[in-house]
C-alpha cells in the first residue's frame, strides 16, 4: 500500500509576510515537468491530444490507472474558466475504451483513476498551478486532488473548491524540498455515486515552478509534519463514541459485559456473524497494555440465543462490529490494537477501519501479538466535522494455510488533539473499490425510495432507539455501506426519543422531503409526524424542520399515529399522507392532505376495520393505472402483508389479500413505471434460533409486484434473475421412494423425494410441478443430516385441495405460528415455482405461480440440501434449473 504520510520537519508554510506574488502566474518561472523526447511541448499545460487510447503515457506520464488510461490527452477547455492555452487536464475528458476504439467520447463524472507526471527536480521556491472541480482531499475515499510525491511519499496536496467548469491559481511553498526529485499525481477516486456533495471530477492546468507564488500558500497543504504526541494517550482527548442510552458507560473502551447473546447490539454496536454470540468486552487481565478491565477480542466467551454458554469461541470465529455513529472533532484517533496482521482488504482480514460517508478512509491491523495491544494513531484532521463509524473486521477462519493470527484485539478508541504515536504512513485509504457490501440488512421497517435508477433503502435500525439508516443498491445483490441519516434523540422529554417509519418524496418543485414518526410513550401525544428536508442530491444529509410536527385530530388517535406515507395524487392535485392510526376506535388507514407539504388537513379514513391492533406501514401506488394500498396487519392471528383494491371508489379487501406469509412484514414499495419492488423484512426469531417465535425486525427480502386482471401479485425480482444467472448442476444427491428421470422430467411416486447439493451462496431454482391427482400435496424439502445422524427437515407444503402453502418443520420447534399463504391452485394444470435461497442471511422464499410468496427464516440454511417431495400422489417435475451469481 502506498505511503501517503511523510514524517518530517521544516518550514510550516504559514509565514505569508514573506510571500512574493507574481503579476502573471501564467508566464512566471518555467514549466514544472517536460516530455523527455520532445521538451518543447507544453505537457505541463496539457497542450497535447488526439493520440487515442493511453495518450498521456505516450507523452511521458506514467503509472496510469483506471479510466485515466482512456484519456485522449488534454481536454478542450473553451468552456472552462481560468484555463491557459487551449487544453486542460480533466478527469472527465474525452477518451477511448481500448486501443481498437476509434470513436472518442467524454468519460463523464463517473470516470476514476490516477496518473503521475514525468519526474522533475525541485529547483524553485514555489510550484504554481490552476486547479478546479471537486473539493475532496487526497486522503478521503472520494478524492479529487493533486499531490506532490517525493521519495514515494505525499508531501503536498491540493484540491478544487467545487468549482464547476472553473479553475483558480494555487501555490505550494517547496523551498524545504529543493534539489529533490518529485512527481505530480493526479487523483480522481470519485465514482459520481452521490455519496457526498462534492463534484465528482478534477480539473488542473499550467504547472510551473517559480520564485514567486501565484497565490498565498496554505499551511495545511503540507503533509507529513511530525505529529504532536500526547503525554498520556489514556487521558488525552475523549472517547471516540458513546452509548446514547447510557453516555457515561465507556463502550469505546469495551467496559461492559455479561449480557450473553447479542451483548454488543444491546450496547448500540451493530454485530454480524459470530460476534453476535460475544458476551461483551473480554476480560483483559492477560492482555499487555490493556486499559481498564476489558478489551474487544474476536475470540472470547460466547452464548447462544437461549443463554446457553458456548464456552470459548476460538480462532475460527468471524464477524464484524460497527460502532455507533460519531462526529470527528479532533485531529487524531488513537487506539490500542493487537492480534492478526492481515489488512482490511485481505480475504482473511483481521483489521479495524474508519468509514466516512460509508467508505473506508483509514485502516489498521494488529501487531502480530497474541496477548498484547499497542497504540496506533490515525491523522483525521482532514475529516473534521464529518460523521464516521469504526468497523472491526475478522474474516480469518483459522485456515491453516494462513499463518497470521486469526483474531483481533482492540481497546480504548479515543479522539484526541494529539497523537499516541506517529500515524502510520500507510494508514490512509483512498480507493474506488472495496467499500460496498453484500445486500444483507439486519433491519427494522424499510422505507424505500427510487431515485435516478437506484433504490435507496431507508430503514429503522434494529438497535437502540431505531435511528434511520440508508443503503443504495442498483442490483439487489450489493449495496453501499449503511449510513445513519436521521438520529433518534434518546431524550426523555423529546418527541423523537424513538423514531418510527415514514417515507421520502420528491416534491413537485424538486425539493426532497422525509416524513417520519417520533415516538415517546411518556408524552402526549405519544406519536407525531415529523419532517426533514435534504440538503443535497445524494439523499444522505437531512435537516429536521424545527418545531414542525403534528398528531392525530378530528377523530384520529394521537397515541397510534405513525408510518406517514406521502405521495402526490395527480388526479386530486394535492399531496396525500397515508397514516397508521385508529379512528373512532377502529383500525384505520388514515388520510391527511396538503398542497405544500407543511400544512396537513385530516380527511375521512381510506379504510377502516374492526381490530384491536393496527394496519401498519400503509403504502399507496399504481400499476398500469390501477391503484393499490399495501399494509401490514398487526394482529397475531393474521399478521401478514396484505393489499386493498378499489371497487367503485371504495377500498376493499379482495379474495386472497395476503401476498406472503407471516414471516414477511412491514413491506413498502418503490420503483419506476417498468419495475416496482416490495421491500420487507423476514422476522428474526427469539434468540435467533431456528424454530423459536418470531421477533420484531429481521433481514431484508425483496419481491417484485405486478398487476394481473385487477389483482396484485408478487414474483422473484427480475434483477435477481439477472444477477443469479450462472447455471448450477441439478444432479440429485439423495432420494427417497421412487424417483426416476424420463425425457428431462423427474417422476416421483407418492411419498418420494430428492434433494440437490447444498450451497453456501445465494442461489435460485425454477421448476414446474404437476400431478394427475387434483388434490395432490407436494412441495419443497430442505434436508439436513445432523452430527448424530438424525435429520432436520423443512417442508414448504403446497396443498392443492385447500389452496394453502405452508411452512412445516421437523422437529417442530417452539413457533406456534409458522407462515402460510393462500392462493388458487390447480395441481393438474401445474404449479410454477421459483425458489430463492440466501444462506448468508438465513432466509428464503418460494414464489408460487408468480402470484404469492412464502418467505421463511432458516438460520442454518447453508447446511440444508434442497429438493422436491411428493405426498399423497405422484408428481412430475419439469424444467428444473438452478443458478447462482
Q: Shortest CA distance to 159 belongs to which of 138, 175, 182, 180?
A: 138
How many CB atoms neighbour CB 439 within 10 A? 21
How many CB atoms neighbour CB 790 within 10 A? 9
Distance CA(345)–CA(266), nearest Å, equals 29
Render pLDDT for 847-878 as a digit per residue (tens, 0 to 9): 999 999 999 999 999 999 999 999 999 999 99
Render pLDDT for 734-765 as a digit per residue (tens, 0 to 9): 999 999 999 889 999 999 999 999 999 999 99
Q: Is the pLDDT confidence value at 546 over 90?
A: no
Does residue 213 contact residue 171 with C-beta atoms inside 8 Å?
A: yes
Does residue 187 contact residue 117 with C-beta atoms inside 8 Å?
A: no
Q: Shortest CA distance to 702 belongs to which of 737, 655, 745, 668?
A: 668
pLDDT of residue 465: 96
Distance CA(462)–CA(302), nearest Å, equals 21
* pLDDT band for position 6 (cuts 50, 70, 90): very low
Distance CA(191)–CA(186), nearest Å, equals 15
The class level of CATH for 238-435 reads mainly beta
Q: Is the pLDDT confidence value at 12 over 70?
A: no
pLDDT of residue 354: 99
Find the mean pLDDT for residues 272-282: 96
Burial profile 271-298: b = 16 or more Cβ within 10 angstroms, e = fewer: bbebbbbbbbbbbbeebebbbeebbbbb
pLDDT over 90 for what percent of the chain?
94
pLDDT of residue 528: 99
Distance CA(716)–CA(701), nearest Å, equals 10
Q: Shortest CA distance to 117 belongs to which of 43, 172, 174?
A: 43
pLDDT over 70 for what percent of the chain?
98
Does residue 823 contact residue 660 with C-beta atoms inside 8 Å?
A: no
Q: CB burial class (10 A; 0-12, 13-18, 19+) of residue 596?
A: exposed
Q: Shortest CA distance to 357 belongs to which of 50, 136, 623, 591?
A: 136
- Of 3.20.20.70, 2.115.10.20, 3.10.450.350, 3.40.50.620, the CATH number of 438-720 is 2.115.10.20
Q: CB burial class (10 A; 0-12, 13-18, 19+) of residue 19?
A: middle
Does residue 539 contact residue 451 with C-beta atoms inside 8 Å?
A: yes
Render pLDDT for 578-595 as a digit per residue (tens, 0 to 9): 999 999 999 999 999 999
Scan for cell 402483508, then name that residue.
641
Render pLDDT for 92-120 as a digit per residue (tens, 0 to 9): 999 999 999 999 999 999 999 999 999 99
pLDDT of residue 9: 35
Distance CA(114)–CA(111), nearest Å, equals 10
* pLDDT band for position 731 (cuts 50, 70, 90): very high
Q: Shortest CA distance to 456 belongs to which of 464, 446, 466, 465?
A: 446
* pLDDT band for position 538 (cuts 50, 70, 90): confident
Overall fold of domain 16-221: Jelly Rolls (2.60.120)
Render pLDDT for 210-253 as a digit per residue (tens, 0 to 9): 999 999 999 999 998 899 999 999 999 999 999 999 999 999 99
Q: Shortest CA distance to 335 belongs to which of 366, 370, 299, 308?
A: 366
Mean pLDDT, rounded, of the chain: 96
Q: Is the pLDDT confidence value at 16 over 90?
A: no
Burial profile 216-235: b = 16 or more Cβ within 10 angstroms, e = fewer: ebbeebbbbbebeebeebee
Return the C-alpha cell found at 408. 483481533
Does residue 384 contact residue 193 with C-beta atoms inside 8 Å?
A: no
Distance CA(202)–CA(146), nearest Å, equals 9
CA distances from 276 to 36, 301, 414, 419, 837 (A): 59, 11, 24, 32, 22
Q: Is the pLDDT confidence value at 673 over 90?
A: no
Q: According to the 3-state scheme, what is the secondary structure of 573-627?
A: CEEEEEEEEEECCEEEEEEEEECCCCCCEEEEEEEEECCCCCEEEEEEEEECCEE
CA distances from 428 to 5, 146, 161, 249, 638 (A): 8, 16, 22, 30, 53
Distance CA(74)–CA(84), nearest Å, equals 12
pLDDT of residue 17: 57
| DSSP annotation string for 22-54 | PS-TTTSSEES---TT-TTS-GGGT--B---TT
| DSSP annotation string for 153-166 | EEEEEEE--SEEEE
Q: Is the pLDDT confidence value at 13 over 60?
A: no
Q: According to the 3-state scheme, what is the secondary structure of 79-93?
A: CCECCCCCEEEECCC
Q: Residues of CATH 2.60.120.560 domain(s) within the chain?
A: 724-884
Scan for cell 469504526, then name that residue.
390
Distance CA(730)–CA(744), nearest Å, equals 11
Distance CA(643)–CA(636), nearest Å, equals 17
Homologous superfamily of domain range 724-884: Exo-inulinase; domain 1 (2.60.120.560)
Q: Residues of CATH 2.60.120.260 domain(s) within the chain?
A: 16-221
3-class secondary structure, 687: helix
Render pLDDT for 21-52 as a digit per residue (tens, 0 to 9): 999 999 999 999 999 899 999 999 999 999 99
Find the mean pLDDT for residues 697-719: 98
Q: Is the pLDDT confidence value at 14 over 60?
A: no
Cβ neighbours of residue 690 under 8 Å, at least 6 residues apart?
A: 809, 813, 857, 858, 859, 860
Find the mean pLDDT for residues 682-695: 94
3-class secondary structure, 346: coil
Q: Shortest CA distance to 296 belongs to which of 336, 239, 348, 244?
A: 336
The secondary element (H helix, E strand) that includes residue 832 is strand 831-838
Q: Is the pLDDT confidence value at 555 over 80?
A: yes
Render pLDDT for 299-350 as a digit per residue (tens, 0 to 9): 999 999 888 998 899 999 999 999 999 999 999 999 999 999 999 999 999 9
Render pLDDT for 411-429 as a digit per residue (tens, 0 to 9): 999 999 999 999 998 999 9
Amino acid at each position: 500500500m502506498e505511503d501517503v504520510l511523510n514524517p518530517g520537519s521544516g518550514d510550516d508554510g504559514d509565514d505569508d509576510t514573506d510571500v512574493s506574488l507574481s503579476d502573471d502566474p501564467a508566464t512566471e518561472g518555467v514549466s514544472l515537468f517536460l516530455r523527455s523526447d520532445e521538451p518543447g511541448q507544453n505537457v505541463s499545460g496539457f497542450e497535447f491530444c488526439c493520440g487515442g487510447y493511453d495518450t498521456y503515457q505516450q507523452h511521458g506520464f506514467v503509472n496510469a490507472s483506471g479510466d485515466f488510461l482512456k484519456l485522449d490527452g488534454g481536454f478542450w477547455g473553451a468552456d472552462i474558466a481560468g484555463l491557459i492555452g487551449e487544453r486542460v487536464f480533466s478527469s472527465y475528458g474525452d477518451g477511448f475504451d481500448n486501443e481498437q476504439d476509434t470513436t472518442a467520447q467524454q468519460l463523464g463524472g463517473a470516470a476514476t483513476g490516477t496518473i503521475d507526471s514525468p519526474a522533475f527536480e525541485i529547483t524553485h521556491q514555489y510550484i504554481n498551478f490552476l486547479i478546479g472541480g471537486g473539493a475532496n482531499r487526497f486522503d478521503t475515499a472520494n478524492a479529487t486532488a493533486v499531490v506532490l510525491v517525493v521519495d514515494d511519499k505525499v508531501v503536498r496536496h491540493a484540491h478544487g473548491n467545487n468549482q464547476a467548469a472553473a479553475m483558480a491559481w494555487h501555490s505550494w511553498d517547496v523551498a524545504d524540498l529543493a534539489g529533490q526529485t518529485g512527481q505530480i499525481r493526479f487523483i480522481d477516486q470519485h465514482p459520481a455515486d452521490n455519496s457526498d456533495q462534492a463534484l465528482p471530477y478534477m480539473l488542473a492546468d499550467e504547472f510551473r515552478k517559480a520564485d514567486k507564488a501565484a497565490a498565498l500558500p496554505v499551511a495545511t497543504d503540507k503533509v507529513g509534519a511530525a505529529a504532536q504526541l500526547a503525554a498520556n494517550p489514556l487521558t488525552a482527548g475523549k472517547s471516540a463514541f458513546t452509548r446514547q442510552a447510557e453516555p457515561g458507560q465507556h463502550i469505546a473502551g469495551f467496559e461492559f459485559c455479561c449480557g450473553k447473546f447479542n451483548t454488543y447490539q444491546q450496547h448500540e454496536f451493530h454485530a454480524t456473524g459470530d460476534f453476535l454470540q460475544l458476551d461483551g468486552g473480554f476480560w483483559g487481565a492477560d492482555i499487555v497494555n490493556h486499559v481498564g478491565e476489558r478489551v474487544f477480542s474476536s475470540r472470547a466467551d460466547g452464548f447462544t440465543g437461549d443463554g446457553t454458554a458456548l464456552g470459548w469461541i476460538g480462532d475460527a470465529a468471524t464477524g464484524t462490529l460497527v460502532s455507533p455513529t460519531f462526529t470527528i472533532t479532533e485531529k487524531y484517533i488513537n487506539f490500542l490494537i493487537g492480534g492478526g496482521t492481515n489488512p482490511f482488504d485481505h480475504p482473511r482480514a483481521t483489521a479495524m477501519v474508519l468509514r466516512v460517508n460509508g467508505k473506508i478512509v483509514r485502516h489498521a491491523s494488529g501487531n502480530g501479538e497474541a496477548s498484547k495491544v499497542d497504540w496506533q494513531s490515525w491523522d483525521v484532521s482532514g475529516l473534521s466535522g464529518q460523521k464516521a463509524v469504526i468497523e472491526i473486521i475478522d474474516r480469518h477462519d483459522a485456515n491453516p494455510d494462513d499463518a497470521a493470527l486469526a483474531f483481533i484485539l482492540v481497546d480504548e478508541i479515543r479522539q484526541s488533539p494529539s497523537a499516541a504515536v506517529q500515524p502510520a504512513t500507510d494508514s490512509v485509504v483512498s480507493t474506488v473499490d472495496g467499500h460496498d457490501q453484500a445486500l444483507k440488512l439486519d433491519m427494522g421497517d424499510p422505507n424505500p425510495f427510487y431515485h435516478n435508477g437506484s433504490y435507496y433503502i431507508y430503514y429503522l435500525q434494529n438497535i437502540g432507539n431505531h435511528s434511520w439508516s440508508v443503503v443504495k443498491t442498483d442490483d439487489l445483490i450489493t449495496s453501499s455501506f449503511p449510513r445513519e441519516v436521521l438520529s433518534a434523540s434518546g431524550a426523555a422529554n423529546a418527541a423523537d426519543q424513538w423514531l418510527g417509519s415514514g417515507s421520502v418524496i420528491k416534491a413537485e418543485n424538486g425539493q426532497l422531503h422525509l416524513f417520519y414518526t417520533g415516538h415517546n410513550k411518556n408524552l402526549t401525544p405519544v406519536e407525531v409526524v415529523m419532517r426533514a428536508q435534504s440538503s443535497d442530491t445524494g439523499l444522505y444529509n437531512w435537516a429536521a424542520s424545527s418545531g414542525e410536527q403534528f398528531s392525530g385530530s378530528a377523530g384520529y388517535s394521537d397515541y397510534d399515529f405513525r408510518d406517514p406515507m406521502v405521495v402526490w395524487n395527480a388526479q386530486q392535485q394535492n399531496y396525500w399522507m397515508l397514516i397508521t392510526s385508529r379512528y373512532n376506535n377502529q383500525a384505520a388507514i388514515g388520510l391527511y392532505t396538503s398542497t405544500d407539504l407543511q400544512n396537513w388537513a385530516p380527511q375521512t379514513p381510506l379504510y377502516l376495520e374492526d381490530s384491536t391492533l393496527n394496519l401498519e406501514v400503509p403504502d399507496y401506488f399504481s400499476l398500469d393505472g390501477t391503484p393499490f394500498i399495501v399494509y401490514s396487519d398487526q394482529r397475531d392471528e393474521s399478521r401478514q402483508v396484505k393489499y386493498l383494491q378499489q371497487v367503485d371508489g371504495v377500498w376493499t379487501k379482495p379474495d386472497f389479500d395476503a401476498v406472503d406469509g407471516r414471516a414477511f412484514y412491514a413491506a413498502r414499495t418503490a420503483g419506476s413505471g417498468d419495475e416496482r419492488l416490495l421491500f420487507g423484512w423476514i422476522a428474526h426469531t427469539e434468540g435467533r434460533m431456528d424454530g423459536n417465535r418470531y421477533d420484531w425486525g429481521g433481514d431484508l427480502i425483496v419481491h417484485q409486484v405486478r398487476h394481473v386482471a385487477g389483482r396484485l401479485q408478487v414474483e422473484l425480482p427480475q434483477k435477481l434473475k439477472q444477477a443469479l444467472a450462472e447455471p448450477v448442476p441439478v444432479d440429485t444427491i439423495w432420494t427417497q421412494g421412487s424417483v426416476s428421470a424420463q425425457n428431462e422430467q423427474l417422476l416421483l411416486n407418492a411419498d418420494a423425494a430428492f434433494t440437490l447439493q447444498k450451497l453456501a451462496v445465494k442461489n435460485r431454482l425454477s421448476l414446474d410441478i404437476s400431478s394427475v391427482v387434483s388434490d395432490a400435496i407436494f412441495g419443497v424439502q430442505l434436508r439436513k443430516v445432523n452430527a448424530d445422524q438424525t435429520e432436520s427437515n423443512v417442508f414448504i407444503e403446497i396443498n392443492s385441495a385447500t389452496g394453502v402453502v405452508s411452512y412445516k418443520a421437523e422437529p417442530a420447534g417452539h413457533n406456534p405460528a409458522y407462515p402460510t399463504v393462500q392462493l388458487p391452485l390447480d395441481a393438474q394444470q401445474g404449479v410454477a415455482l421459483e425458489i430463492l435461497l440466501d444462506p448468508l442471511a438465513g432466509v428464503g422464499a418460494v414464489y408460487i405461480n408468480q402470484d404469492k410468496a412464502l418467505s421463511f427464516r432458516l438460520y442454518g440454511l447453508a447446511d440444508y440440501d434442497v429438493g422436491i417431495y411428493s405426498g399423497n400422489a405422484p408428481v412430475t417435475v419439469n424444467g428444473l434449473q438452478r443458478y447462482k451469481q
